[in-house]
C-alpha cells in the first residue's frame, strides 16, 4: 500500500508536488519520485510485496507509461503466469509490475481481471494523458483536482486542499482518462447494483452455508499470503473473530489488537478468544476520560470523514493502528463489510424484501466514504495496510444472491455466516449479538461529547472542498421509517443537525460522562489502613 501524488501538465509545480508528497508521508516508509517536463509523479511506498525491487513510479519497458499504484492485487501470481505466456518479461516478484503489464496487454479491460484493493494512475508520457482506476468497492481512495495548466491526483483529500480548487473523487469501480484537454472522463467497469443479476437465488441453507464458507476462506487465504506478521483488529465479535481464526490457522505469525475500556464487552470477548487460540494479544485499555479534544481533532484530520458516527468510530480506531505501528506490524485484517453484506443492521429486517434490497445496495455503494474510508485513513495514517476479506468481490456477489431469511433467522443477524462456521466458532462468539464498534468498546459516549465541534474541525482542514460534514444517514433513515427515497430527500434538504439537535445530544453525552464523576464524589470512601509500626 502507498500514497500516490501526481502533478500532470505544463504548469506542474515542483514545490506543490513536494508538499503533496509530504502530506502523504505517513502512508509509507520511503519516498520515490520521477520528475520530467509536464509530469511530476511520486509515491510514498509501504514496502510489503517484493520490498526491495518494486520501486515506484514504475516505468514500462518501452518507457511509454509511468505507473503510480496504491494497493494489493491478490491474484498477481496467476496474472503473471498468463502474461508470461503472452510474452511479457518480469524483473520483480511484486504486483506493481503485473498491474502495468496487464494494462499494456489488455488496456482498459485489465481492471476486470484484477482481484484486489487498489487505486492507480497510468500516465502516457508522450501525451500527458492519465488513466485512473479504483477497485470495485472503493477500499483504496483516489482524488483529483484541476488548476491552471495542471491536473493534481492524490490518495487523500488533505494532499489537495492546498490548491483551493474543488476536489473530485474517482468513484469505486470506475476508470477512465484524464485527457490533455482538461476533461476527466470516468465510467463504471463494475456496477454493484447489478452484481449477481441473472444468477439464481441460493435459498437452500446447506448450499448457501457451504458457498459462504468456501468464498470467505479463500478471501482470507489470499489476504494472508505474506511473509510478514499479520495483525487482526479484534473486537470479539463474529466477523473479527473469524478473521483471527483464519489467521491463526493459515498464518500463525499473527497478533490480535483490541481497544476498549477495561470492563467493556469487546475486551472481555477478545481476551477470551485470543487466549483460547493461543494468539498474542495486545489490549489498548482506555478510560473514557483518556479521549480528549486533541484526539478528536487528530482523528478528523486523519480520517477526512463526513458523517458524525464515522468520526466517532475513527476516534476509537486510531489507537489500534498507532499500536500496530509501534509493534512493527504492516499488514492487518479487519472484519468490515460483513454487517452490510449479511444483514447485521436492524433496518434490513424492519422492511419488506424489496425495500431491504435497496437499503442493502445503498449501504454497499456508500462503504467507500464511511467504513472503508475510516479503515484506510486510520490504518495508513500509521503506515499499516488494512485488508478487508469480507469485501472480496466474490463474497459480495454471493451475498447479493442470498435471500434475507438466510441473513436473519430465529432473531439472529448474519445467521448464514454463523451457520457456515458453526463447527469452528466457539459458542460464546457464535451466540454473541451484534454490537456497534464504538459502543461495545465503551468509548462512544466520551467521543460523542465533542460532536458539536466536528463540523468546525472538519472545515478547519479544508475538507469541504470535497464534501462537508452531514447528519448520520442511519439516523435520517430511522426518522424516515427506513424509506430510502424520503431519507435521501431529507438529507439533501437539511444536511447538518440543527443547533437544538446538537444541544440535546450534548446534554445526553454530558449526563453520561458526569455519572462516573458523581459516583466518585458520593460513593463510599475507601479507607486505607496503615499498618502500625512495632
Q: Which residues of 113-132 are buried (b: 16+ CB within 10 A; e: fewer)?
A: ebbbbbbbbbbbbeebbbbb
Confidence of residue 524 (pLDDT cuts 50, 70, 90): low
The average pLDDT across 504-523 equals 76
Look at residue 522 and tell me whether its pLDDT is greater than 80.
Answer: no
DSSP notation for 89-119:
--S-SSHHHHHHHHHHHHGGGGGGG--EEEE
pLDDT digits (tens, 9 = 90+) for 12-68: 999 999 999 999 999 999 999 999 999 999 999 999 988 888 899 999 999 999 999
Confidence of residue 519 (pLDDT cuts 50, 70, 90): low
- Asked whether residue 90 is domain-assigned, the answer is yes
- Asked whether residue 338 is domain-assigned, the answer is yes
Confidence of residue 226 (pLDDT cuts 50, 70, 90): very high
Looking at mean pLDDT, say which of 16-30, 344-358, 406-420, 434-448 comes out highest. 16-30
- The partner residues of 120 in beta bridges, in order of sequence, read 69, 133
For 68, 146, 195, 371, the CA distances from 173, given in Å and listed in that order, are 18, 22, 12, 17
The average pLDDT across 291-310 equals 97
254 flagged as catalytic: no
- 262 and 141 together in one domain: no
Say what the pLDDT of residue 123 is: 97
The average pLDDT across 62-90 equals 97
The CATH number that applies at residue 86 is: 3.60.20.10
Look at residue 454 and tell me whether its pLDDT is greater than 70.
Answer: yes
Residue where one domain finishes, among candidates 170, 188, 206? 188
> 175-179, 415-419, 506-510: which has the minimum mean pLDDT?
506-510
Say what the pLDDT of residue 530 is: 45
Say what the pLDDT of residue 50 is: 83
C-alpha cell of 299?
482523528
50 against 246, higher pLDDT: 246
Mean pLDDT, the chain, as a whole number? 93
The verdict on whether residue 111 carries a ligand-binding annotation is no
- 298 and 258 together in one domain: yes
For 144, 231, 299, 445, 463, the CA distances from 158, given in Å and listed in that order, are 11, 27, 13, 28, 7
- 412 and 458 together in one domain: yes
> 7-21, 77-91, 296-310, 505-519: which has the minimum mean pLDDT?
505-519
Confidence of residue 410 (pLDDT cuts 50, 70, 90): confident
Distance CA 327, CA 223 (A): 20
CB 413 within 8 A of CB 407: yes
Look at residue 497 and tell me whether its pLDDT is greater than 90.
Answer: yes
The CATH number that applies at residue 460 is: 3.40.50.620
- 79 and 151 together in one domain: yes
**CB neighbours of 312 closer than 8 A, spacing ≥ 6?**
438, 444, 447, 448, 451
Say what the pLDDT of residue 18 is: 97
Domain count, the chain: 2
Residue where one domain finishes, among candidates 188, 205, 222? 188
- 167 and 280 together in one domain: no
- Asked whether residue 11 is domain-assigned, the answer is yes
Distance CA 317, CA 333 (A): 13
Say what the pLDDT of residue 271 is: 97
Look at residue 526 and tell me whether its pLDDT is greater than 60.
Answer: no
- 34 and 93 together in one domain: yes
Look at residue 525 and tell me whether its pLDDT is greater than 50.
Answer: yes
- 257 and 183 together in one domain: no
The average pLDDT across 325-346 equals 93
Say what the pLDDT of residue 193 is: 83
Active-site entry in 2, 68, 150, 254: 2
- 168 and 290 together in one domain: no
**CB neighbours of 450 closer than 8 A, spacing ≥ 6?**
293, 296
- 74 and 154 together in one domain: yes
Look at residue 320 and tell me whether its pLDDT is greater than 70.
Answer: yes
- Asked whether residue 532 is domain-assigned, the answer is no
The average pLDDT across 184-196 equals 91
Q: Which residues of 179-211 are buried (b: 16+ CB within 10 A; e: fewer)?
A: ebeeebebeebbebeebbeeeeebeebeebbeb
The verdict on whether residue 259 carries a ligand-binding annotation is yes
What HEC string does 160-228 produce?
A: CHHHCCCCEECCCCEEEEECCCCCEEEEECCCHHHCCCCCCCCCCHHHHHHHHHHHHHHHHHHHCCCCC
- 229 and 175 together in one domain: no
- 255 and 114 together in one domain: no
pTM: 0.93
Share of the chain above pLDDT 70, in %: 96
- Asked whether residue 202 is domain-assigned, the answer is no
- Asked whether residue 195 is domain-assigned, the answer is no
Distance CA 78, CA 72 (A): 14
- 180 and 225 together in one domain: no
- Asked whether residue 287 is domain-assigned, the answer is yes
- Asked whether residue 527 is domain-assigned, the answer is no
Domain that holds residue 112: 2-188
Amino acid at each position: 500500500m502507498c500514497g500516490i501524488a501526481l502533478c500532470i501538465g505544463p504548469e506542474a509545480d515542483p514545490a506543490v508536488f513536494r508538499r503533496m508528497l509530504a502530506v502523504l508521508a505517513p502512508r509509507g516508509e520511503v519516498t520515490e519520485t520521477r520528475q520530467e517536463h509536464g509530469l511530476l509523479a511520486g509515491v510514498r511506498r509501504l514496502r510489503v510485496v517484493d520490498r526491495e525491487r518494486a520501486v515506484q513510479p514504475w516505468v514500462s519497458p518501452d518507457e511509454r507509461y509511468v505507473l503510480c499504484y496504491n494497493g494489493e492485487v491478490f491474484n498477481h501470481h496467476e496474472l503473471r503466469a498468463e502474461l508470461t505466456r503472452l510474452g511479457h518479461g518480469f524483473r520483480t516478484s511484486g504486483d506493481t509490475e503485473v498491474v502495468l503489464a496487464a494494462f499494456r496487454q489488455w488496456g482498459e479491460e485489465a481492471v476486470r481481471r484484477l482481484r484486489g484493493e487498489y487505486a492507480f494512475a497510468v500516465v502516457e508520457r508522450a501525451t500527458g494523458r492519465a488513466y485512473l482506476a479504483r477497485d470495485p468497492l472503493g477500499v483504496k481512495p483516489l482524488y483529483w483536482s484541476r488548476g491552471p495548466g495542471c491536473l493534481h491526483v492524490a490518495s487523500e483529500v488533505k494532499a489537495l486542499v492546498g490548491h483551493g480548487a474543488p476536489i473530485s473523487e474517482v468513484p469505486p469501480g470506475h476508470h477512465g482518462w484524464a485527457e490533455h484537454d482538461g476533461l476527466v472522463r470516468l465510467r463504471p467497469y463494475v456496477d454493484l447494483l447489478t452484481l449477481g443479476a441473472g444468477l439464481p437465488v441460493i435459498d437452500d441453507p446447506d448450499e448457501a452455508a457451504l458457498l459462504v464458507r468456501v468464498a470467505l476462506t479463500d478471501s482470507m487465504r489470499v489476504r494472508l499470503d505474506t511473509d510478514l506478521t499479520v495483525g487482526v483488529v479484534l473486537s470479539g465479535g463474529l466477523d473479527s473473530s473469524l478473521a483471527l481464526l483464519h489467521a491463526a490457522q493459515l498464518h500463525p505469525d499473527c497478533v490480535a489488537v483490541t481497544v476498549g475500556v477495561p470492563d467493556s464487552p469487546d475486551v472481555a470477548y477478545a481476551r477470551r478468544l485470543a487466549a483460547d487460540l493461543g494468539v498474542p494479544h495486545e489490549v489498548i485499555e482506555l478510560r473514557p476520560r483518556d479521549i480528549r479534544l486533541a484526539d478528536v481533532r487528530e482523528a478528523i484530520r486523519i480520517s477526512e470523514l463526513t458523517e458524525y458516527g464515522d468520526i466517532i468510530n475513527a476516534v476509537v480506531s486510531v489507537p489500534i493502528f498507532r499500536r500496530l505501528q509501534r509493534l512493527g506490524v504492516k499488514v492487518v485484517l479487519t472484519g468490515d463489510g460483513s454487517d452490510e453484506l449479511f444483514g447485521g443492521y436492524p433496518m434490513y429486517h424492519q422492511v419488506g424484501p424489496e425495500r431491504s434490497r435497496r437499503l442493502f445496495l445503498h449501504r454497499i455503494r456508500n462503504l467507500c466514504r464511511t467504513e472503508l474510508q475510516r479503515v484506510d485513513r486510520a490504518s495508513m495514517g500509521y503506515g499499516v495496510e488494512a485488508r478487508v476479506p469480507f469485501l472480496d468481490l466474490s463474497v459480495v456477489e454471493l451475498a447479493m444472491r442470498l435471500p434475507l431469511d438466510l441473513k436473519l433467522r430465529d432473531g439472529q443477524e448474519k445467521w448464514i455466516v454463523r451457520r457456515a462456521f458453526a463447527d469452528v466458532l466457539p459458542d460464546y462468539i457464535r451466540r454473541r449479538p451484534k454490537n456497534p464498534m464504538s459502543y461495545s468498546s465503551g468509548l462512544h459516549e466520551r467521543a460523542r461529547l465533542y460532536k458539536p465541534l466536528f463540523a468546525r474541525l472538519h472545515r478547519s482542514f479544508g475538507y469541504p472542498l470535497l464534501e462537508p460534514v452531514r447528519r448520520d444517514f442511519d439516523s435520517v433513515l430511522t426518522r424516515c421509517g427506513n424509506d430510502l427515497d424520503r431519507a435521501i430527500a431529507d438529507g439533501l434538504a437539511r444536511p447538518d443537525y440543527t443547533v437544538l439537535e446538537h444541544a440535546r445530544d450534548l446534554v445526553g453525552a454530558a449526563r453520561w460522562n458526569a455519572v462516573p464523576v458523581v459516583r466518585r464524589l458520593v460513593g463510599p470512601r475507601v479507607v486505607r489502613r496503615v499498618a502500625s509500626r512495632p
